[in-house]
Structure 1
Amino acid sequence: MSEAVRETQRKPRREFRNIHVTELMNYRQPFSAIVSIMHRISGFLLFIALPFVLYLLQESIRSELSFAHFQGIASHPFAKLVILALVWGYMHHFCAGVRHLVMDTHIGLDKDSARKSSVAVLVVTWVVVILVALKLFGVF
């Protein structure tokens, strides 16, 4: 076969190039990647907040007066938003961690199952966060 015939039979190769910072908004991440990135962010948030949460727990159980002071702080709207962010961090990290543990047992590794489980993690996390938000802000 001549060289000209071989070149016409080849499929054109895809061109892979680096994504520039200005093109990041046009790039669509799959749900699995979003869950993975958010899992890392939520873990970092929980790690950074752990000393502060332990200090608040210590102060809340020290005495009745310190508990009343803690209740006053926790009733502020900004504090409620911080609590809600911590609830999101915990719930997302927990649900994504369970997903990763299940995937470590070689269940749900195919593309469709991984996408469904990542969507389930997002849905369960946000349903729980919305319920906690409704309770925190007095709707329930």
Structure 2
Amino acid sequence: MPTTTHFTLAYWCVLIAALLPLVCATLAKKGGFGRAPQAGGYDNHAPREWLARQQGAAARANAAQANTFEALPFFIGAVIIAHQLGARQGLVDALALAFIALRLVYIWLYVADKAMARSAVWTLALAVNIAILFSGYR
């Protein structure tokens, strides 16, 4: 008899986590929209070069984008492993939501240049991710 499966809240969090880099990219590029590349505006022909020349909040948003991509594989893996190990779904969902909330705070702190708080939130998000990974451990 086939098992009935459904898209869990934790899986929805994976989708949200996969979209967070786009939020960061938008924050990094928004100051350059509406101006010609020759006037320092966003250059879609050479986006990485344009981003590399940015400073301040735009540069920090771009760095947050890179870190958000870096955090994604571990989060995806942790959620999948937790599901495969039969972790309590409510726990996995709650931890996945906590991870997303922490990553949103992390992005805000990064763009706002709150380095110490950002690092603390990054550490908490990593701890939550580790908790997701081990939530099905028996």
TM-score by length of 1: 0.39
TM-score by length of 2: 0.40
Structure number, greater radius of gyration = 1
